Chains A and B, each alone.
Chain A
Amino acid sequence: DAGVIQSPRHEVTEMGQEVTLRCKPISGHDYLFWYRQTMMRGLELLIYFNNNVPIDDSGMPEDRFSAKMPNASFSTLKIQPSEPRDSAVYFCASSMDRGPYEQYFGPGTRLTVT
């Protein structure tokens, strides 16, 4: 398996622009997670899905952030409008619904908002 795939790997955009991050989980995995990592706050869970259904979005910072999972093999995280404080590395991860429930992380998208 190719592992979790994320695109783009790097994104530089100007404040106010819309940003869309994409993720393809490992085939057969039941859960998909979106994380954000910064030096100050570490790795934070934003939202996660089970069988394409959002389960917990309490980590989403504000209404500017939205996530969808239209099918089992694709998810997007959208920021509109983007702000400089959104600059971070965004990771997507997936896992199966059986022990040890380890999460497999994608390579991440490094987002810079100027």
Chain B
Amino acid sequence: GQNIDQPTEMTATEGAIVQINCTYQTSGFNGLFWYQQHAGEAPTFLSYNVLDGLEEKGRFSSFLSRSKGYSYLLLKELQMKDSASYLCAGGPWGGGNKLTFGTGTQLKVEL
């Protein structure tokens, strides 16, 4: 199957670091994507991984281990505006990537 699991909710403090985990069970994923979705808005692309390891992009980093079916999104120097839902999505790497999304992790950043 193409199950994607991620925690439902997380809470963290402004200025801290938070790691959002995502596990998946599929043989059809060779790209792992992270999207951010603020309440009432559309998802926006954050990062992707097609190879094992860490990809860094400013305050956001994403890690992938294909053999373990595991990814995480790391957010550093948390800001209040980072309060949002973070969606993990897997799919083929290529045009028309038919993504399967997790249900999202609702992150709340507190003072």
Contacts and interface: CB of A to CB of B under 8 A. Distances in A.
B48 A102 contact: yes
Interface SS, B side: loop
Size bin of chain B's contact surface: 20 to 34
B69 interface: no
B96 interface: yes
Contacts of A45: 98-100
Size bin of chain A's contact surface = 20 to 34
Nearest to A55: B96
B111 interface: no
Contacts, number: 57
A102 B33 contact: yes
B93 to A, nearest CB: 7
Given A97-B96, A100-B48, A101-B94, 7 more contacts: A31-B96, A41-B103, A42-B101, A42-B102, A43-B43, A43-B87, A50-B96
Given A42-B102, A42-B103, A43-B87, A102 B45 contact: yes
A3 B42 CA distance: 12
Given A42-B104, A43-B87, A106-B42, A101 B97 contact: yes
B93 A105 contact: no
Interface in B15-35: 31, 33
Nearest to A32: B96
